[in-house]
Amino acid sequence: MITWGTAAAALAAPLVFLLPGWALLSLLLPPERLDRRPDAASWPILAAGLTLALAPVGLLFLYLVGLKVGTGGALAALALSASVILWRRGPVWWTRRPQPSRGATC
């Protein structure tokens, strides 16, 4: 039987696994360099791989420093990741690209 907690965890899992890596990719690969960017299919795979690789290292570092990360810290990290993504990728998503005319040849 699926409870509300299970449903919420299933809906939140993509955010937890994709947002931090996607934010890091957005910082590492600036939007103005579109010729060297990965294609759209590999972007979520790279983001999930970065998150799964760097999150345990970051949590270990915080543990060694003596900081405890709870629910508030995890939600703050997700909010920070979402804001970085919107800051870096927002202008690319919201600007309108000019459409080539139908009669023009290149």
Domain ranges for the chain = 63-88
- Segment 95-104, tens digit of pLDDT: 656 666 666 5
Question: What's the pLDDT tens digit per position in 30-84?
Answer: 665 556 666 777 888 888 999 999 988 988 999 999 988 888 888 898 999 999 9
Check if the beta carbon of residue 13 is closer than 8 Å to that of residue 44.
no
Residue pair 22/79 in contact by the 8 Å Cβ criterion: no
Query: Looking at residue 40, what DSSP letter applies?
Result: T
What are the tens digits of pLDDT across the range 80-93? 999 998 888 776 66
Euclidean distance between CA atoms 61 and 65, whole angstroms: 6
| Closest-CA residue to 53 (of 87, 24, 13) | 24
pTM: 0.70
